[in-house]
């Protein structure tokens, strides 16, 4: 087995987005070629409603998928293709923006709000696909029991089981909890980019045992498995992996295309009211 080593550690930085939501931004524009086809990864969490209540009012997306994973709390959302729903503890929303969607995500006061959102780039051929909203409830997620821990297999494959199957980029997503000192190998096919974001505790990744703690992500070198060993605190982390698209990226705020011209065209359509293609 060719164990992946930690190529580098991305430390999350505190920032604000939306109408004034405090969050931790783990990846920046400069990281995108190391994590292609993933683009952005944000984590949010607070017991103080003032930190998140202003939410993310109606805003556009094109050319990507946005995946929101609510660990705890409540988020109401709606979009321009007629979906409206509420995310509760353990719910996910896998949204294909494709040719264009407007959506809003508005957290509601709760004892605690905790979650994350990442963006997955769409290949050139699927950039203008019809927008689609795909809710994933906890009962749809495979729970795998391993010695000393559990794995929620959201998408991808592990131990002969399969998670949900994304329509476009076949990304693997796992939510892994390991008790103190527990080791586990997670197979990830060679040629895929992968990283792990630590939610709680800490762990050593790779044969060289690089320790990664909370609010940080380990970006892995190539190989065919991620080896993890939980610290004395135990660990909970999100593992993401997918085959890179290797296509040019033109990124402007909520829109990600392949060329500056396509980006400009999208913003022109927004201002002219012709952005939404499918109803």
Q: What is the DSSP string of 6-22?
A: EEEEEEPEEEEETTTEE
Phi, psi of 261 (to 5 degrees): -65, -45
In contact, 241 and 194? CB cutoff 8 Å:
yes
Full-model pTM: 0.96
In contact, 138 and 92? CB cutoff 8 Å:
no
Bridge partners (DSSP) listed for residue 117:
42, 68
In contact, 67 and 134? CB cutoff 8 Å:
no
Answer positive or negative: Cα dihedral of 62, 219, 196, 244.
Answer: positive
What's the pLDDT at 273?
94
What's the pLDDT at 162?
97
Residue 25 CA: distances (Å) to CA of 39, 45, 161, 214: 11, 12, 31, 13
Query: Would you call 190 helix, strand, or coil by DSSP?
Result: coil
Buried b (16+ CB within 10 A) or exposed e, 151-181: bbbbbbebeeeebbebebbebbbbbbbbeee
Tens digits of pLDDT across the chain (279 residues)? 899 999 999 999 999 999 999 999 999 888 999 999 999 999 999 999 999 999 999 999 999 999 999 999 999 999 999 999 999 999 999 999 999 999 999 999 999 999 999 999 999 999 999 999 999 999 999 999 999 999 999 999 999 999 999 999 999 999 999 999 999 999 999 999 999 999 999 999 999 999 999 999 999 999 999 999 999 999 999 999 999 999 999 999 999 999 999 999 999 999 999 999 865
Residue 47 CA: distances (Å) to CA of 2, 22, 44, 72, 125: 42, 12, 11, 11, 42
Q: Which long-range contacts (CB under 8 A, 24 or more apart) does 156-159 make?
A: 156/241, 158/186, 158/187
Residue 180 CA: distances (Å) to CA of 92, 100, 110, 140: 27, 45, 30, 28
What's the pLDDT at 194?
98
What are 241's two structure tokens? 């992996």
């Amino acid at each position: 087995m060719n164990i992946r080593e930690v190529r580098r550690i991305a430390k999350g930085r505190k920032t604000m987005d939306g109408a004034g939501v405090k969050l931790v931004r783990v990846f920046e524009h400069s990281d995108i070629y190391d994590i292609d086809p993933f683009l952005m990864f944000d984590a949010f969490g607070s017991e103080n409603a003032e930190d998140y209540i202003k939410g993310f009012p109606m805003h556009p997306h094109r050319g990507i998928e946005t995946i929101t994973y609510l660990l705890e709390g409540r988020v109401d959302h709606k979009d321009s293709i007629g979906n409206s729903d509420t995310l509760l503890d353990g719910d996910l929303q896998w949204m294909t923006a494709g040719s264009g969607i407007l959506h809003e995500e508005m957290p509601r006061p709760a004892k605690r709000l905790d979650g994350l959102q990442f963006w997955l780039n769409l290949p050139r051929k699927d950039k203008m696909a019809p927008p689609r909203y795909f809710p994933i409830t906890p009962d749809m997620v495979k729970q795998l029991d391993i010695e000393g821990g559990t794995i929620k297999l959201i998408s991808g494959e592990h131990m002969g089981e399969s998670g949900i199957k994304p329509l476009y980029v076949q990304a693997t997503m796992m939510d892994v909890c390991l008790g103190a000192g527990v080791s586990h190998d997670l197979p990830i096919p060679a040629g895929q980019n992968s990283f792990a974001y630590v939610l709680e505790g800490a762990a050593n990744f790779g044969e060289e045992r690089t320790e990664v703690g909370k609010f940080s992500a380990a970006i892995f070198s190539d190989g065919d498995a991620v080896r993890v060993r939980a610290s004395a605190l135990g660990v909970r982390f999100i593992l993401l992996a997918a085959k890179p698209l290797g296509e040019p990226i033109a990124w402007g705020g909520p829109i990600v295309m392949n060329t500056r011209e396509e980006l400009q065209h999208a913003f022109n359509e927004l201002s002219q009211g012709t952005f939404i293609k499918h109803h």
